[in-house]
Homo-oligomer: A and B are copies of this chain.
Amino acid sequence: MASIRDVARIAGVSPSTVSRVMNGTANVEEDKRQKVLAAIQETGFKPNELARALFKQSSKIIGVIVPNIENPFFNELAKAVEEEAYINGYKILLCNSNNNTEKELMNIQMLNQMKADGIIILTYSDKTGQAIASCQLPVVVVDRQLTGSGQSAYVESDHYKGGKLAILHLLDCGCKNIVFLRGPLEVSSGQQRYQGYHEICNKYGIREQCIDCLYDYEDGLRAARELVEKYHHVDGVIASNDMIAIATYKILTREGYRIPDDVQMIGFDNIRFSWLFTPELTTVNQPIKKMGTLAVQIILNYAKGLPFQQENILDVSLVERQTTRRKE
């Protein structure tokens, strides 16, 4: 592989001149410029990104740490991040943490050593929180609130509003016996959605009915089984997210419930699958793409020394589809 010095030798100039031609850093006399260009052509010279990054102390890499790429929510987000990064000349280093704090810490350290320009992280334990705080890199936490500070920011949706939207919609649809498959209260999305739900219940004097449920499909199946066992007269389900809604659909139909005739159902997130699924899921939309784009922009701004907003809470909206039906 040709180096800048090979090019310089062939063109009969110094490496600095070649560098100037390539980067347009300064004027170069036309005939030398032509010779350099010719030499670049001839050798097929491409600058070594590692050397460049080493000098510049920046690798133009953004690290993305997700618990599980397989999860549609995370991979839709990863896609948005990749696109925005690519447009701006950045690359994505993808790390799967498998919800393993150990691996998360390893990844953060690795990104530090790689001189990544920022980290976008989609998971958050207390330990990682500390690692983030003591991290020299800008970190954007997505879908979790952040209590620490430093050069970090967070991006999430208005889950509180989402929770209200969900139950209000089921009420609009005439549900009398709503069960909330409640997401984990330790994470802000679960906590906030529950708060929204809770407030509406209070306001209308509705008795709360919750089943705790993690965000993964398997636990969704478990929770849904508990649902059909405990709540025979259920006519409305708020699933903690779309994957849980899909799991619940399987269990409910297996038990002979028809959706939305017997039980109406609403999810959260509006992942692509909520629309691909049959029936198409009513859900509370999170602007996933926008979250990814924003996260990248925050890192870009940080890199450029521009100001950025530390707390970003994006709006959510109701998407009515086939698992609910408004009363005429």
Q: Which A residues have a C-beta under 8 Å from some C-beta of B?
A: 1, 46-51, 53-54, 59, 61, 64, 68-70, 72, 75-76, 78-79, 82-83, 86, 91-96, 103, 109-110, 112-115, 136, 217, 243, 246-247, 249-250, 253, 272-273, 276-278
Contact = CB atoms under 8 A, between A and B. Distances in A.
Contacts of A94: 64, 78, 82, 92-94
B278 A250 contact: yes
17 contacts: A47-B113, A48-B113, A48-B115, A50-B59, A64-B94, A69-B78, A70-B75, A75-B75, A86-B96, A91-B95, A91-B110, A91-B114, A92-B95, A93-B94, A246-B276, A253-B278, A273-B273
Contacts of A54: 48, 50-51, 54
A82 B96 contact: yes
A277 B217 CA distance: 11
Contacts of A247: 276
Say how many copies of this protein the assembly contains.
2
A75 B40 CA distance: 38
Given A50-B50, A70-B76, A91-B114, 13 more contacts: A49-B110, A50-B53, A50-B59, A50-B114, A69-B69, A69-B75, A70-B72, A78-B94, A82-B95, A86-B95, A92-B95, A246-B276, A250-B276
A51 B112 CA distance: 13
B95 A93 contact: no
A70 B59 contact: no
Contacts of A59: 50
Given A68-B79, A82-B96, A115-B49, A249 B278 contact: yes
A50 B40 CA distance: 25
A68 to B, nearest CB: 7
Nearest to A47: B113
A79 B83 contact: no
A214 to B, nearest CB: 15
A252 to B, nearest CB: 9
A288 to B, nearest CB: 11
What 9 pairs across the A-B complex have the smallest Cβ distances? A49-B113, A94-B94, A50-B54, A250-B278, A82-B96, A49-B114, A69-B79, A75-B75, A92-B94
